[in-house]
Amino acid sequence: MHQVYIRTYGCQMNERDSDQVAQMFMERGGYFMTPDEAEADVILINTCSVRDQAEQKALGKMGLMGRLRKQKPHVVYGFLGCMAQSRGEELLQTIPHLDLVAGTQKYHRVVDYVDTILKKRLERQMDDERFSIVDVAEEEGSQNTIRDQELQANQATAFVSIMQGCNMKCTFCIVPYTRGSERARPIAEIVDECRRLAASGVKEVTLLGQIVNRYAIKEFPTVDGKSPFVQLLDAIHGIEGIERIRFTSPHPIGYREDLIEAFARLPKLCSHIHLPLQSGSERILKAMHRPYSPQRFLEICEKMRAVRPGLAITTDVIVGFPGETEEDYAATKEVVRKADFDNAFIFRYSPRRGTPAADLPDEIQLPERVKEERNQDLLSLINDQAKPKYAALVGKDVEVLCEGYSKTTEERLMGRTSQNKIVVFPGPVERLTGRIFSVRVTETHGFTLYADPVTVS
């Protein structure tokens, strides 16, 4: 039996891909998962390339793990995912002990490749010649291979991958180059997966895609004025046992009238959307190749709140994009004020090799000092906006789906509201996990609510 350790960096889609790889190892037989890298016979890191920091973390982690090679020479080391896709064979030169590099369309082949490496190693025990596998080629139909997952006992929530790739080519983003063009799974297959999850006790599904609300926009037809994505939402909404539906990450251009209207008639859609702004400057949005104006962005926020009162909106913002002036940054702050977000992820612009923005002239690249100042300033504004929203919930009842133990202690449980706010409360994990009920908020710290214990009938 071989023990497998997988470390994941990056987005929810990476987490879902890692779950699929783990499931395939367990189905194969002869493997089981371990949370302890020191005990592992197979060490895999699923990587992210969206920011340089994520790549450096993965490289640093794999470099440190290489110290185990002398003690355990049989261990297989591998990089998966986006950095593996973008860097390919050069990673073998960077990490001398690396055995496997598998790109974003090759997750379903990882077990086969590990099997091959282990067999080669047995065949060549006395041979110091290195054997490695690199596969970053495109593969038709790869989007349909991420479809099953191993669920934990009483698991309340699950990610469902509905598509891969992106056609938008924002100038700052490496994803179209690491994930490829948009490719959608058929609606029927996604619905079948959601039914299986519901039968296993899952109450909430989160649909995943690079631009999830553009799902199959060119592959499947519009029916009765509904885009393929809204057709999918309708179908999942009808599954008995699924009580909540989320999706991430959308694009403003995907919020057409049929999707806005869906929030008015589909109560299982959670009262939260993540809507990436990126910049509030029209000039910078054009330089980013983001095909909407700040005014259009604010119109979407207004329409969504009109059809779903109490809707929470979170966002992504990039500060320090090449050429961003003080006036551009001020325009971003103004849109943030008007949009009144519940929370936001603020990123300092990070040049990604091979993207158009990385090739812009050095003289318009902003100093790290300026990026950090704007990052901290915008975080302060977001915090000031969010605090009153959280404080207003103290003393009120909120409905949560209990997901199990809190991430910080097993003395308390945690759940999320429909607005995606984290709530921590005491109670028996066996009886409450996977159930939806109300708790009374007693206090708030940062972006976490704390609530009284409850009695659930």
- Burial (CB < 10 A; 0-12, 13-18, 19+), residue 78, is buried
State residue 152's pLDDT score.
Answer: 81
SS3 217: coil
Domain 142-391 has CATH 3.80.30.20: yes
CA 194/CA 216 separation, integer angstroms:
18
Ranges of beta strands (E only) in 330-447 are 343-348, 397-405, 413-416, 422-425, 436-445
Which pLDDT score is estimated for 144?
84
CA angle in degrees (0–180, nearest 5) for 199-201-207: 85
Which mean pLDDT values do the consecutive 10-residue runs of the chain (457 residues) have? Answer: 94 92 93 93 94 90 83 91 95 93 96 94 64 93 82 90 95 94 96 96 97 95 97 98 97 97 98 98 98 98 98 98 98 98 96 93 95 98 96 96 91 96 94 94 96 74
Reduce the DSSP state of residue 160 to 3 states and report it.
strand
What are the C-alpha distances in Å from 222 to residues 45, 207, 216?
A: 39, 19, 10
Spatial distance between the Cα atoms of 200 and 156, rounded to a whole number of angstroms: 9
* Residue 70 token pair: 């002398």
Task: Specify whether domain 397-451 bears CATH 1.10.1220.
Answer: no
pLDDT score of 82: 95
pLDDT of residue 68: 75
Distance, CA of 217 to CA of 438 (rounded, Å):
38
- CA pair distance 2, 334, nearest whole angstrom: 55
Burial of 15 (0-12, 13-18, 19+ CB in 10 A): middle
Q: Which residues in the chain are classed under CATH 2.40.50?
A: 397-451
Task: Specify the pLDDT at position 170.
Answer: 97
Q: Which class for 243: exposed (0-12), middle (13-18), buried (19 or more C-beta within 10 A)?
A: buried
- CATH 3.40.50.12160 location in the chain: 2-135
**Can you give the pLDDT at residue 456?**
61
- Burial class (CB within 10 angstroms; exposed 0-12, middle 13-18, buried 19+) of 64: exposed
23 sits in which H/E element: helix 12-28
- Copy the structure tokens of residue 417: 């509201």
Whole-number pLDDT of residue 51:
84
- Tokens read off for 181: 């063009």
Which class does domain 2-135 fall in? alpha beta
